[in-house]
């Protein structure tokens, strides 16, 4: 029962965090019931950035709808496009040239690094450290430049198309990626110096927002959020797509389930991405970058589902086709939505300052939650 | 050698010669007031610019560089913008308290200027309980923050004010105890006496380890007292938007902002006075030549140099560390700093009684 002055009948304070608030990184609205500084309940309200992307996709052709999905999780646009392209290819049953497969994986992993970089900086800012943000952006900027050269865009790349990739890679691509990896290895110790080894940071993160493996599964958490609790769920390992079965990498797992574990998963995941890129960058096969497909794509009647591992977790694309040029129904299973749902569970009983740290380690991207 | 105190003495002599003593005193008071206010304004401008440049340097970027040469006039432009901005008072706010709070903050900062020795024998008011006066007046700061938070009729402001109240009241203890250890060593509460006691060496060198411990405690405690990161829980941008001054805008906000920076200056000036010898030049034992060279640097430069070094350290904290949580913050004070500074005070007292310092 909410009274007019914003307290419950038990005398607890209700505050609205968002839709405009520096910690929500977007238009998320959290209604928080507070007892002093202690959180009693967190209620996320969604819908502020709902653009009905799923409905829009129904009126777009199988070539067109992919571009809209770049706007869902804008930090891993490549991976969203990749999922859609894979799903359409499943329906068309086309064989993707080996060159396109490798380029796709390279782009995915670069995106993953860029996304985790931004998460690192933004999360540090949430808990009050401003400087890491700029250090993270230095590296992310280099990746954006590489993307710009090959894809022509820095954020919404729209590079993956059904049948392969839109253009061949830029002649500078390999050289620039290699110099980026060199720079990255030089700078990665700065992350540990600035944040990971800081005693204040560890105190803020350790044993905060604990998520047990059972809860992670029952809430449907995926990606680094679940792997921080020790739930092995890497789609790249379990259902490898494109060139992922040809590369060696480890699935990063931490067992504590607290904020620090989720943090460490992402930090170590960046190093695994570097490992994947190193294996592939000198071994891009020659050949076509796109399979021959018809100008107008028509999927056979039926249902198609494809899951990929984005930077935030499992993204599922579900297409129902009636045999026409546009999908009958499209559903996206976005990782952020399930990861957000766990917030109330892990935040209860902790302090208001911890809520911000937890939201940071869940790595929420609001357009991905709302679509 | 040119010195500010001689200039002040000359002006005083001339005024007393020209006017009758009462009028001369009145004119001197006006001059001192104007000087304090202008120092205030200049400090605000310089410190804001310094903070932006220091943060830019630490964050691999350039900082303000468009307004004026190398961005020097940026804070002036910002001040002008704040001056012409509308100072809103929210509908549900307690209007009297809401409008009074920023002025209390600024008055407190102004009062704290009085006993600070800016150069050799150059002080507004060398009262015999100078350091006690500083501790007492700086406690009033919390009232203005509580007033601002309470009267804003905003839950974020209220939480910021409550956090700030708990924080300032706790950290005042450690700050006070570490100040006390220097008072014990100097044997006086008067600022000029404390500085004169450091003529043959600053307390941080003469006082052995207890003085260094007291210095570190002091720096941590005053960082918390002035609500600077990593103890900026009262503002905590990512949690409470802007904490106690969420609802303030225009010049009322600017007064809070100015008071914060002037407070940083004042606590650093106190730190420099107590531990680093105030305006005393740096001397090394019997190195006559070296000491003479150091003596030639004006005392005001020594004072401002030391103060700005401490200010830089406090800014360095802000741009390096994450923020603490409220329970961790209070734990740090009550479980660690306070016992440490209490034991430290005992050690210092023993040292002072036995004369175990240089």
| Domains in chain A: boundaries | 50-370
Q: Which chain B residues have a beta carbon less than 8 Å from that of A126?
A: 238
pTM: 0.85
- CB of B134 within 8 A of CB of B176? no
| Interface contact flag, B155 A353, Cβ < 8 Å | no
Q: Which chain A residues have a beta carbon less than 8 Å from that of B322?
A: 124, 127-129, 195, 198, 200-201, 204
| Interface contact flag, B60 A138, Cβ < 8 Å | yes
Question: pLDDT tens digits, residue range B310-328?
Answer: 999 998 888 888 888 888 8
Mean pLDDT of B128-148: 87
Dig out the tokens for B348 from the structure: 């210092």
Q: Which residues of A touch B (CB under 8 A)?
A: 6, 13, 15, 21-23, 37, 124-131, 133-135, 138, 194-195, 198, 200-201, 203-204, 351-356
* A131–chain B nearest CA distance, Å: 5
User: Given a cut of 50, is residue B71 above it in pLDDT?
Assistant: yes
Residue B84, preceding peptide bond in cis (omega within 30° of 0)? no
| Interface contact flag, B321 A128, Cβ < 8 Å | yes
Going A345 to A350 to A354 to A355, the CA torsion angle's sign is positive
Q: CA B334 to CA B328: how far, in whole Å?
A: 10
| Interface contact flag, B320 A195, Cβ < 8 Å | no
Give the CA count within 13 Å in the CB-facing half-sphere of A199.
2
The H or E element containing residue A304 is: strand A302-309
Q: Which chain A residues have a beta carbon less than 8 Å from that of B61?
A: 134
| Interface contact flag, B239 A23, Cβ < 8 Å | yes
- CB of A291 within 8 A of CB of A97? yes
- CB of A105 within 8 A of CB of A276? yes
- CB of A87 within 8 A of CB of A306? yes
What confidence score (pLDDT) does residue B239 get? 75
User: Given a cut of 60, is residue B278 above it in pLDDT?
Assistant: yes
| Interface contact flag, A353 B59, Cβ < 8 Å | no
Q: How many residues are there in chain B?
A: 358
What confidence score (pLDDT) does residue A1 get? 41
pLDDT band at B358 (very low <50, low <70, confident <90, very high): low
| Interface contact flag, B322 A351, Cβ < 8 Å | no
What are the Cα distances from residue A364, in Å, to A25, A76, A118, A193, A338? 8, 12, 12, 25, 10
For strands A329-333 and A164-165, give the pairing.
unpaired
What confidence score (pLDDT) does residue A6 get? 65
Q: B286 by DSSP, 3-state: which? A: coil
Place of tokens 């210092």: B348
User: The complex's ipTM?
Assistant: 0.81
Minimal-distance CA residue of chain B relative to A132: B59
* B274–chain A nearest CA distance, Å: 29
More confident site: B336 or A2: B336
Q: Which chain A residues have a beta carbon less than 8 Å from that of B229?
A: 128
Q: CA A267 to CA A248: how far, in whole Å?
A: 18
* A136–chain B nearest CA distance, Å: 10
Q: Which chain B residues have a beta carbon less than 8 Å from that of A127?
A: 238, 322-323
Of A1-15, A17-31, A176-190, A357-371, least confident by mean pLDDT is A1-15
More confident site: A269 or B200: A269
Q: Which of B57, B238, B323, B329 to mutate to test the interface with A (most CBs of A within 10 A)?
A: B238
Question: pLDDT tens digits, residue range A171-204?
Answer: 888 898 989 988 888 888 888 778 888 888 888 8
- CB of B275 within 8 A of CB of B215? yes
* B42–chain A nearest CA distance, Å: 27
CA A247, A253, A257: angle at the middle one, nearest 5?
155
Closest CA to B35 of B140, B114, B131: B114
Question: pLDDT tens digits, residue range A147-172?
Answer: 888 888 888 888 888 888 888 888 88
Question: pLDDT tens digits, residue range A222-251?
Answer: 989 999 888 888 888 888 888 888 888 888
| Interface contact flag, A23 B238, Cβ < 8 Å | yes
Q: CA B264 to CA B227: how far, in whole Å?
A: 9
Dig out the tokens for B24 from the structure: 């001369």
What confidence score (pLDDT) does residue B357 get? 65
Name the phi and psi angles at A308, rounded to 5: -135, 165
User: Given a cut of 80, is residue B236 above it in pLDDT?
Assistant: no
Domain A50-370 has CATH 1.10.645.10: yes
| Interface contact flag, A125 B60, Cβ < 8 Å | no
């Amino acid at each position: 029962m909410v009274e007019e002055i914003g307290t419950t009948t038990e005398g607890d304070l209700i505050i609205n965090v968002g839709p405009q608030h520096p910690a929500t990184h977007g238009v998320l609205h959290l209604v928080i019931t507070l007892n002093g500084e202690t959180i009693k309940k967190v209620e996320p309200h969604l819908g502020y950035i709902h653009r009905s992307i799923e409905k829009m996709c129904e009126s777009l052709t199988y070539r067109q709808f992919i571009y809209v999905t770049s706007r869902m999780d804008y930090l891993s646009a490549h991976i969203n496009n990749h999922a859609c392209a894979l799903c359409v290819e499943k329906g068309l049953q086309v064989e993707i040239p080996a060159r396109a497969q490798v380029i796709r994986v390279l782009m995915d992993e670069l995106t993953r690094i860029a996304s985790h970089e931004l998460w690192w900086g933004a999360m540090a800012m949430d808990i009050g450290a401003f400087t890491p943000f700029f250090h993270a952006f230095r590296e992310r900027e280099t990746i954006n430049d590489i993307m710009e050269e090959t894809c022509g865009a820095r954020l919404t790349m729209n590079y993956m198309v059904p049948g392969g990739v839109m253009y061949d890679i830029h002649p500078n691509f390999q050289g620039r990626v290699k110099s980026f990896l060199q720079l990255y290895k030089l700078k990665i110790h700065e992350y540990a110096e600035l944040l990971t080894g800081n005693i204040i940071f560890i105190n803020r993160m350790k044993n905060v927002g604990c998520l047990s493996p059972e809860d992670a599964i029952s809430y449907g958490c995926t990606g680094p959020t679940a792997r921080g609790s020790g739930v092995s769920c890497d789609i790249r390992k379990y259902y490898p797509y494109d060139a992922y079965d040809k590369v060696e990498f480890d699935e990063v797992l931490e067992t504590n389930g607290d904020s620090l574990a989720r943090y460490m998963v992402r930090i170590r995941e960046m190093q695994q991405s570097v490992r994947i890129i190193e294996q592939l960058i000198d071994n891009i096969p020659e050949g076509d970058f796109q399979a021959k497909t018809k100008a107008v794509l028509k999927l056979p009647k039926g249902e198609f589902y494809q899951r990929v591992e984005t930077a935030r977790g499992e993204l599922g694309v579900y297409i129902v086709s009636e045999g026409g040029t546009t999908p009958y129904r499209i559903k996206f299973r976005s990782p952020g939505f399930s990861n957000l749902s766990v917030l109330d569970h892990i935040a209860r009983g902790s302090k208001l300052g911890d809520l911000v740290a937890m939201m940071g380690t869940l790595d929420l991207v609001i357009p991905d939650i709302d679509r | 050698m040119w010195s500010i105190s001689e200039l002040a003495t000359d002006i005083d002599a001339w005024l007393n010669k020209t006017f009758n003593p009462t009028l001369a005193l009145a004119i001197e008071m006006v001059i001192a007031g104007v000087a304090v206010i202008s120092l205030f304004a200049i400090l605000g401008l310089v410190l804001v610019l310094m903070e932006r440049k220091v943060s830019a340097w630490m964050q691999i970027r350039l900082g303000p560089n468009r307004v004026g040469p190398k961005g020097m006039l940026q804070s002036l432009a910002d001040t002008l913008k704040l001056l012409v901005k509308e100072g809103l008072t929210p509908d549900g706010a307690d209007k009297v308290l809401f409008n009074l709070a920023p002025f209390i903050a600024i008055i407190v900062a102004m009062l704290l200027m009085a006993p600070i020795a800016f150069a050799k024998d150059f002080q507004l008011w060398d009262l015999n309980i100078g350091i006690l006066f500083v501790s007492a007046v700086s406690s009033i700061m919390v009232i203005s923050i509580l007033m601002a938070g309470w009267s804003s009729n905003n839950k974020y402001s209220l939480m910021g004010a409550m956090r700030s109240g708990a924080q300032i009241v706790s950290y005042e203890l450690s700050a006070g105890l570490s100040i006390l250890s220097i008072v014990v060593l100097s044997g006086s509460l008067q600022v000029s006496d404390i500085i004169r006691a450091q003529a043959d060496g600053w307390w941080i060198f003469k006082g052995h380890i207890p003085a260094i411990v007291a210095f570190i405690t002091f720096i941590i405690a005053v960082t918390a007292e002035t609500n600077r990161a990593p103890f900026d829980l009262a503002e905590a941008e990512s949690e409470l938007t802007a904490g106690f001054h969420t609802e303030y805008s225009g010049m009322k906000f600017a007064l809070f902002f100015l008071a914060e920076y002037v407070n940083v200056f004042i606590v650093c000036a106190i730190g420099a006075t107590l531990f680093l010898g105030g305006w005393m030049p740096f001397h090394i034992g019997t190195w006559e030549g070296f000491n003479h060279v150091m003596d030639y640097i004006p005392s005001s430069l020594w004072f401002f140099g030391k103060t700005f070094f401490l200010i830089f350290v406090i800014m360095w904290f802000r741009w390096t560390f994450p923020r603490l949580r409220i329970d961790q913050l209070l734990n740090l004070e009550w479980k660690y700093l306070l016992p440490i500074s209490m034991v430290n005070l005992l050690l210092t007292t023993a040292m002072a009684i036995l004369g175990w310092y240089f």
